[in-house]
Amino acid sequence: MSHDDFEIEPVNGLPERPPEGEEILWQGRPSTLALAREALNLNWIIGYFAVLTAWRFVTVVDLMPLGQAIGATVPLVLLGAVVCGLLLLTALIQARATVYTVTTSRVAMRIGAALTLTLNLPYRELGNAALDLRKNGTGTIALDTTGATKLSYLVIWPHARPWHLSKPQPALRCIPDAENVAQILANAAEARISTPQVTRTTPLDAVAAE
């Protein structure tokens, strides 16, 4: 029997149904390979083991036959493969547990593989958004929140802008077609912020009567 850890969600990626008038404009999740490269430094790990393997081969090739020299480097190759495999598995689990949602009113981020939480970021609590676009079309959209929103870098990692530790910025990490998503988000935020907010106040004559 199949089992879905998020089957209790009334709407995929959201803890409850959007209120009347709020529409979902886009939903997505990180690219597994891009997340492994950018958040987990997969390319650096591959390079590290490649250099380590080459150094090992160079230091022993003059001391033993070629076949034995190659055999001496095999453990490093296997160790590197295991480490890279674990990083890819971690990225896959993180990506599958994540759902980013852009609506007409907010950005919602359901994140966390072991401890799942949902961040709701209304446009009026966002100061700015920055797009880091890659050549292959994937990219990261970092959201600069206002001072009223307190976040922990460790709690939201890897869904955070890298190296912004003192004032963490939640981010839609490594999403495909990031430029188009950024435009959708910008249009929705501009429309929402420019909409007048009507609040109910007490009439002056009622105040005077009191």
Check whether domain 24-30+99-194 has CATH 3.10.100, yes or no: no
152 close to 168: Cβ distance less than 8 angstroms:
yes
Q: Where are the domains of the chain?
A: 24-30+99-194, 35-94
Report how far apart, in Å, the C-alpha atoms of 25 and of each of 63, 78, 176, 188, 192 are.
64, 45, 15, 9, 13
Buried/exposed 77-90: b ≥16 CB within 10 Å, e otherwise: eeebeeebeebbeb
Q: How much is the pTM?
A: 0.82
110 close to 30: Cβ distance less than 8 angstroms:
no
Task: Identify which of 191, 199, 197 has the alpha carbon closest to the alpha carbon of residue 123.
Answer: 191
Is 71's pLDDT higher than 90?
no
pLDDT digits (tens, 9 = 90+) for 119-160: 999 998 888 899 999 999 999 999 998 866 778 898 999 999
Q: Tell me, what's the pLDDT at 204? A: 43
Q: Tell me, what's the pLDDT at 10? A: 76
Pairing of strands 171-175, 139-145: antiparallel
Q: Which residues are paired to 111 by β-bridges?
A: 117
pLDDT digits (tens, 9 = 90+) for 24-45: 999 999 999 999 999 999 999 9
Please, what is the end-to-end C-alpha distance for the chain in angstroms? 66
153 close to 168: Cβ distance less than 8 angstroms:
yes
Length of the chain, in residues: 210
Q: Using CA atoms, how far apart are residues 116 and 123, in angstroms rounded to an integer?
A: 22
Alpha helices (runs of H) in 61-164, residue ranges in sequence order? 66-96, 153-156
pLDDT digits (tens, 9 = 90+) for 152-182: 898 999 999 998 888 899 999 999 999 999 9
